[in-house]
Amino acid sequence: MAVQQITELATTHMTLGAHNKFNIDVNNAIIQATAAALRVENYATLYAQKIEEESRIVNRQTAMASTVDVSAADRQRDSAVGVIMNLTNAHTTSIIAEKADAAKKLRQLLAPYKGIGNHAYQKETAEINGMVAVLTTGDGATYAATLGMDDEVDALMQANAAFEEAYARNQEEAATLAALQSVDTKELRAQVDALYQQIVLTVNAVAVLQPTDEVTAFIQKVNGIIYKAEQEMGTSTASKPLPDTPGTGEGGGTDTPTDPDAGSGGDDGEGGSPL
């Protein structure tokens, strides 16, 4: 019976998404067969990690969803500020002398906060905190209570706190996005390819030296994945078997396969030619 081998696949022309999906499928096949049965323990863990990194690049957002939450929270607190300012102004003409007097005095205290809705986010946050301090301490608190604005003041405090929470989430999302954008996708892709190549070379050698049902089934499964990938890429060239001997670099392996256990202590992801 002929020795089965994983066939070669040129991944150069794959899109990043197709490249990632192909390697995810291969990794799932490794998980099903187990790295131990395939003798690829030295590469499997790092291979899975690099695929996961690539997946995050493929699925990264081009815009931050939390930006919408920040804008909505900002509008909410702007409305709360506006209500308090408008109520204060309206009460200055109250026919109840006590309320009119309280409103006029409170308006003077709130004068520095007029138009803060047009200010930058963080500046407005600090200004609203100052406005809340005016409304909740000393004479300001007395005037606000006289005008019956306790609920409005509470609403302003809650709206500002909600904005700060949304803004913090936005900052975290921005940091994550920035980290993903800093990744060298070509280098990451090359690392995935190098690990895949090492796995294929090792499995092919095992298939020659110590074939098992698990190894044969894995090879058949991966060849099916490769065939499907070739169809999707429109590849018309015939698949060629990879060399049996790991580490030859250009496919110029010797006729005699090497023991897959030899040199198994090498560093992960290095050596072998990238696809």
Confidence of residue 236 (pLDDT cuts 50, 70, 90): very low
Q: Would you list the domain boundaries of the chain?
A: 66-181
Q: Count of H helices and E strands in the chain? A: 10, 0
Are 9 and 239 spatial neighbours (Cβ–Cβ below 8 Å)? yes
Residue 165: how many other CB atoms lie within 10 Å: 13
d(CA 31, CA 11): 22
State how far Cα 246 lies from the chain centre.
35
**Partners of residue 241 on adjacent β-strands:** 7
Q: What angle do CA 263, 265, 266 make, to 5 degrees?
A: 80
Are 85 and 110 spatial neighbours (Cβ–Cβ below 8 Å)? yes
d(CA 33, CA 197): 18
Q: How confident is the model over 31-52, as pLDDT tens digits?
A: 999 999 999 999 999 999 999 9
d(CA 61, CA 47): 24
DSSP-based helix, strand, coil % in the chain, nearest 5: 70, 0, 30
Q: How confident is the model over 105-118, as pLDDT tens digits?
A: 999 999 999 999 99
> What is the residue-averaged pLDDT of the chain?
84
Are 145 and 103 spatial neighbours (Cβ–Cβ below 8 Å)? no
Are 258 and 205 spatial neighbours (Cβ–Cβ below 8 Å)? yes
d(CA 36, CA 114): 70
> What is the b/e burial string over 152-162, where b = at least 16 CB atoms within 10 angstroms of the residue's CB?
bbebbbebbeb
pLDDT at 64: 65
pTM of the model: 0.53
Are 70 and 163 spatial neighbours (Cβ–Cβ below 8 Å)? yes
Q: How confident is the model over 201-229, as pLDDT tens digits?
A: 999 999 999 999 999 999 999 999 999 98
Residues 6+ apart with CB under 8 A from 26: 196, 199, 222, 225
Which amino acid does the sequence have at 263?
G
